[in-house]
C-alpha cells in the first residue's frame, strides 16, 4: 500500500507539549483519526482541508469499537492517504496501540510511532514533583486501575505496589481506587501514604487533590467519575506544597 499511518502521542492536552515531529506530521496529514482526549487545540495543527474523524472511547459512553478504528486506518491508508492516528498521552501506555499495530501489520500497512508526554509525567511536572529520588525512590511503576470489564484487575503485583520506596501511577483508576487502596493497605502499605489525584492535566480546568491513599479512597467512594485523572501514590506524591 502507498498509504502510511503515523501514530502520534498527543500528550495530556496542552498543544505546547506536542513534539516538533508530531506537529509536523499533523500538518502534513490527509486524514486524522483522533481520540476525545486528544482533540481541541491540538487539532489546530492539522491542515484546514484534512479530514478529521472522531474515534474516541470513553468509559460509560457510546464509543467507537476498536475493530472499527483499525478498519478505518486500513481503509484510509488503502487510498494512499497520509493517516495520523492521534492518541492522548503517550500512545504506548494503556492506549491499545498494539491492537492497531497488529491490524496494520496484517494488512501490510506501514506505520511509525511518535512518543509523547504521558499523563503521569505531565501530572508530576504540573504539580512541581519529581517522579524519582536518589536512594529512596528508585522505581516508578505505571498500572491500569481497570481491566476489560472496567473492574480492578485481579492479577496486580500487590507486594510491588505496596513498596513504600516506589512511586506508582494509576491510570483509569478513579472508580476502582477505593478497592485498590484497601488491597494496598492489606498488603502492608500505610494508609497515610501520600496520594495525588490529578484531573484534566494540561487543560484550563486541571485540578490537584493532595491527600493520603486512605482519604482519597474515602473521597472517591462518594464521587461520581467524570473528569479523566491519573492518581500518583508513594512518598514523593506529597513532596511539594
> Across the chain, how many H-helices and E-strands are there?
7, 10
Contacts for 43 with CB less than 8 Å, ≥ 6 apart: 26, 32, 34, 52, 86
Grid cell of 17 as nine digits: 507539549
Cβ neighbour number for residue 151 with a 10 Å cutoff: 12
**75 is known as an active-site residue:** no
Q: What are phi and psi of 77, to 5 degrees?
A: -65, -35
3-state secondary structure of 111: strand
**35 is known as an active-site residue:** yes
CA distances from 26 to 42, 46, 49, 104 (A): 9, 5, 12, 19
Which of 35, 82, 87, 163 does the annotation list as catalytic?
A: 35
Q: What are phi and psi of 100, to 5 degrees?
A: -75, -35
Which of 21, 36, 57, 75 does the annotation list as catalytic?
A: 57
Active site residues per annotation: 35, 57
Amino acid at each position: 500500500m502507498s498509504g502510511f499511518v503515523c501514530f502520534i502521542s498527543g500528550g495530556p492536552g496542552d498543544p505546547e507539549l506536542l513534539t516538533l515531529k508530531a506537529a509536523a506530521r499533523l500538518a502534513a496529514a490527509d486524514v486524522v483519526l483522533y481520540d476525545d482526549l486528544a482533540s481541541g487545540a491540538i487539532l489546530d495543527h492539522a491542515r484546514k482541508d484534512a479530514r478529521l474523524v472522531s474515534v474516541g472511547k470513553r468509559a460509560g459512553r457510546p464509543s467507537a469499537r476498536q475493530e472499527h478504528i483499525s478498519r478505518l486506518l486500513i481503509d484510509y491508508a488503502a487510498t494512499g492517504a497520509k493517516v495520523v492516528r492521534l492518541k492522548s498521552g503517550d500512545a504506548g501506555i494503556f492506549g491499545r496501540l498494539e491492537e492497531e499495530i497488529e491490524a496494520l501489520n496484517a494488512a501490510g500497512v506501514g506505520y511509525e510511532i511518535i512518543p509523547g508526554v504521558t499523563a503521569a509525567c505531565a501530572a508530576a511536572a504540573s504539580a512541581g514533583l519529581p517522579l524519582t529520588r536518589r536512594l529512596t525512590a528508585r522505581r516508578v511503576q505505571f498500572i491500569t486501575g481497570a481491566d476489560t470489564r472496567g473492574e480492578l484487575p485481579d492479577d496486580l503485583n500487590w507486594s510491588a505496589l505496596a513498596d513504600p520506596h516506589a512511586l506508582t501511577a494509576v491510570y483509569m483508576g478513579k472508580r476502582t481506587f477505593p478497592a485498590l487502596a484497601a488491597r494496598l493497605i492489606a498488603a502492608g502499605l500505610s494508609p497515610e501514604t501520600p496520594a495525588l489525584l490529578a484531573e484534566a492535566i494540561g487543560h484550563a480546568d486541571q485540578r490537584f487533590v493532595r491527600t493520603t491513599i486512605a482519604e482519597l479512597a474515602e473521597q472517591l467512594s462518594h464521587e461520581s467519575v467524570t473528569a479523566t485523572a491519573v492518581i500518583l501514590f508513594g512518598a514523593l506524591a506529597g513532596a511539594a506544597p
